[in-house]
Amino acid sequence: MGYGGFVFILLGLVALGLAIAWVVVGVHALLLGRVPGKRLPWRVRQPRLWGAGALLMLFNGGSPSLFAVGVGLVALGYAVKSQR
């Protein structure tokens, strides 16, 4: 295995770590109704909507239309004002 193989494995591990972090944040937002972190809670107005979109972006089954719906839900999570 050459140098390129190690880079490929390293990039794969980084991508896997980012995907796991995205799932954790999405489930946290969807179930608890708040987004963890310092800056993200100030920007996300509808955490449950944002969390549903984040999860749909990852678990779309390879469907581009479901990915687009997930992106739309994340965008609505930033834009829609809370009714409370």
Q: Is residue 15 packed enough to be buried (19+ CB in 10 Å), middle (13-18) or exposed (0-12)?
A: exposed
Record the pTM: 0.81
> What phi and psi values does residue 50 have, to the nearest 5 degrees?
-65, -45
Q: Give the mean pLDDT of 66-78.
A: 94
Per-residue pLDDT tens digits for 36-67: 888 888 889 999 999 999 999 999 889 999 99
Give the pLDDT of residue 68: 96
pLDDT band of residue 5 (cuts 50, 70, 90) is confident
Q: How far apart are CA 30 and CA 15, in angstroms?
A: 22
